[in-house]
Amino acid sequence: MPDLARFEPALARLEQIVRELEEGDLVLERGLALYEEGVLLARECAAILDVVDRRIEVLSEGADGVTLRPLEPTGEE
Amino acid sequence: MSVPPRTNVLSVAEVTRRIRLRLEGDPSLAQVWIRGEISNYRPHVSGHAYFTLKDSQASLRCVMFRGRAVELPFQLANGLAAIVQGRIGVYDRDGAYQLYVEQVMPDGVGSAFLAFEQLKARLDKEGLFAAGRKRRLPRFPRAVGVVTSPSGAALRDILTVSRRRYPGVRLILAPAAVQGESAAAEVARGIALVSQVAEVDVVIVARGGGSLEELSAFNSELVARAIHASPIPVVSAVGHETDFTIADLVADVRAPTPSAGAEISVPSRGELKQHLSSLTRRGLAALAETVAAQRERLRRAMGSVGLVRAPDRLSGMRQRIDQLSRQLASTATHRRERAGDRVQSLIGRMHGLSPLATLARGYAICRDLPSGKLIRSARVLTGGDRIALEFVDGAAECLVDRVRAREGG
């Protein structure tokens, strides 16, 4: 299960890498290292997007505290 | 000057009592509605409110006891034009008649409207609406909290839009009545609870449209405070065309309808994927440009010199490029064939780069001048010869001073 919290920072880093690559003036070695990092980040982001969870839960408060349970399907669904 | 009679001398209290009975016994003063302007308003710590009701010709002392005063939906204030209902009575100690107030209504505007305006002004002054405290919504919330009625159209709209934008989104509903007496407390509680749930990164507070009265929970101080206290961004999504609710003003983002609230809060999977693949493409194109630029540099530096043996470092790079191209091929967003072809062509071009790497490491190529023949040995040189030294980024023309051949070389 990919770490959903990683998406935003990974995407932000990927955008920064592409900007840096596009600004040019990089020695080849640095360019390759950045590109390699970018590919890994892109793959991670894509994996997160592919997670299908379809979870809809209802929060309820009882004597034993707050609990989450799946939403009962209504007649319309 | 007459002499006081022996009998019939009254105490102050007795006279006051008689006045009181007279006034309080008058049915025309027992239940009066009076129009005037509130002035000299003095709330007391006890909760009772004291003020004077006046018009251009007269003034009337008024007292409103705590039990009545706390029921006022708005704040009394000096200058407020009001219609006041109560009974006239006498306050023995001061020997003063006054109005015992039961109700106060704003004259001209509705009470709910006045309460709304007053609360708005007060919260604004406290800084709850300040633009500086609005938070940005996360681009990719791990879970979205929803505070609304479990049976309302608002929830249905939010579910529909969320599923369209991102089929895998996780929604957590905090059920709350959005209308009626307990609505404000339930909505406020829902915000407080759902904003504490792990992974919930944004909260939508929603209900369908309604009149000012039906939206009263969203104009309440309780809900305003709950939104303000939320540790994560709140989107207000109350369906109404005109006028903002107080919840809209406090929320980090205001959406005009529940559907729009979901639109803003739930990321579009398709858009994010497109963004990712465009980033990948741009990265590859930029890398190709870097390679091309280096290759051009090399070509210029090399002139007609033949290739030397590829150093280890270059084969290391080739390996990395092979590895990258494999990883690229496995990326879901990758346009496999196009990008794969580009990487292959890059690898091909990289074969030509080997001398650059050597030169870059500090070696130079030595040629005879003016013939341009490559010089591989010190022994072929003598003092006074002219030679050229070619570096990775240019060449130097040199005059040989002295030749020192190495022994046994």
Query: How does pLDDT run across B268-281, given as a tens digit for each residue?
Result: 888 888 888 888 88
Give the chain A residue whose CA is nearest to the CA of B195: A59
> How far is residue B171's CA from residue B385's CA, in Å, rounded to a whole number?
82
Q: Where are the alpha helices (DSSP H) in B29-133?
A: 66-69, 111-126
CB atoms within 10 A of CB B6: 6
DSSP at B353: T
Contact at CB, A21 and B283, closer than 8 angstroms: yes
pLDDT class of B75 with cuts at 50, 70, 90? confident
Q: Which two tokens stand for residue B135?
A: 């938070």
Tell whether B137 lies on the interface with A, counting CB pairs under 8 A. no
Q: With b meaning 16 or more CB within 10 Å and e meaning fewer, what string describes B12-38?
A: eeeebeeebeeeeeeeebeeeebebbb
Tell whether B185 lies on the interface with A, counting CB pairs under 8 A. no
The interface predicted TM-score of the complex, written ipTM, equals 0.72
* Strand-pair partners of A35: none
| pLDDT at B330 (0 to 100) | 59
Q: Which of B140, B137, B135 lies closest to B272 in space, CA to CA?
A: B140
> How far is residue B390's CA from residue B375's CA, in Å, rounded to a whole number?
12
Q: Does the structure show a pLDDT above 80 at B202?
A: yes
Tell whether A37 lies on the interface with B, counting CB pairs under 8 A. no
Determine the average pLDDT of the residues in B65-84: 89
> How far is residue B265's CA from residue B158's CA, in Å, rounded to a whole number?
10
3-state secondary structure B113-130: HHHHHHHHHHHHHHCCCC
pLDDT by residue for chain A (77 residues), tens only, comes to 677 888 889 888 988 888 888 886 677 778 788 888 888 888 888 888 877 665 778 887 777 777 777 775 554 43
| pLDDT at B314 (0 to 100) | 64
Determine the average pLDDT of the residues in B121-134: 91
Tell whether A19 lies on the interface with B, counting CB pairs under 8 A. no
